[in-house]
Amino acid sequence: MRTRICWFLIGFFACLILGVIFFHIRYRPVDITENMGPEIGSMFEEFVPWSRSAKGLQAGRFHVWTPADSESAGAWIMHGERVYPQVFIRDSDADGIPDCVTVMDSKWKFVTVFDSDEDGIFDSHGYKTEGILDSVTFVDGNMDGTYDTRFVLVGRKDSTTVEVNIDGSWHELIRSDGKTYVRIDGQLKNVRGKNGVWDFCGE
């Protein structure tokens, strides 16, 4: 009888230890940018700051990634079979109020809604065209249906130019001495962005 109890206890603790090891291996933090290559990985990390240390779990047919670090917040959700669309939720300051929600398709086109001041109301939205390193991201800063800023990416991550819409015309944004300008007829004109919309200073 004593021998049987000993074997039972040995078996029980062996299963317990194996279970703990299995749990730690399966749910250990991983770098989800590992196979993306350095440039795309670094872009992804800007978009998903906790991507170098993430935990994955399976929920039915869905796969969910969340930060391994409790000081970060957010989620990346994808369908296990179709993979796309994917949903990203970002809460940069981990206060429980998301600052943006993005839905992305298989061509890396995506739409995002932002809550810039985190008052619980989405106040602007963005749309990115197809492609990773060749694409344009448009932002409607005041949700009036007209895009106010666009980010043009041509081939490299560090090649982004910013253009602003003023009175229906797009101008490249020039930053100098802490101020912002556009060039019109060869002349620099001082512009400002307020509440997501651009206009000429003094007007």
* 117 counts as binding Ca ion under rule CB under 5 A: no
Among 52, 54, 65, 91, binds Ca ion (CB under 5 A): 91
Q: Which residues make Cβ contacts (< 8 Å) with residue 90, sequence separation at least 6?
A: 47, 48, 73, 74, 98, 99, 100, 101, 102
Among the listed residues 116, 129, 137, 142, the single contact to Ca ion using CB under 5 A: 142
Which of 34, 93, 105, 199 is close enough to bind Ca ion by CB under 5 A?
93
> What is the rounded CA–CA span in Å between residue 50 and residue 44?
10
Of 94 and 103, CB closest to Ca ion:
94
| 124, 102 contact by CB (below 8 A) | no
How far apart are alpha carbons 114 and 142 in whole angstroms? Answer: 10
Interaction between residue 148 and Ca ion (CB under 5 A): yes
Residue type for position 162? V
Q: Is 39 helix (H, G, I), strand (E, B) or coil?
A: helix
DSSP secondary structure code for residue 68 in this structure: S
For Ca ion, the closer CB: 52 or 150 = 150
Position among 144, 156, 183, 200 found at the interface with Ca ion (CB under 5 A): 144
Residue 97 interacts with Ca ion (CB under 5 A): yes or no? yes
Contacts of 129 (CB under 8 A, 6+ apart): 109, 135, 136, 137
| 195 binds Ca ion per the rule CB under 5 A | no
Nearest distance, CB of residue 149 and Ca ion, angstroms: 9
How far apart are CB 192 and Ca ion at their closest, in Å?
15
Is 134 a residue that touches Ca ion (CB under 5 A)?
no
Q: Which stretch binds Ca ion (CB under 5 A): 22-30, 58-66, 84-92, 187-195?
A: 84-92
H or E element, residue 59: strand 54-59
Residue showing tokens 């670090």: 69
- Number of residues in contact with Ca ion, rule: CB under 5 A? 10
Smallest distance, Å, CB 64 to Ca ion?
Answer: 19
- Binding interface with Ca ion (CB under 5 A): 91, 93, 95, 97, 118, 140, 142, 144, 146, 148
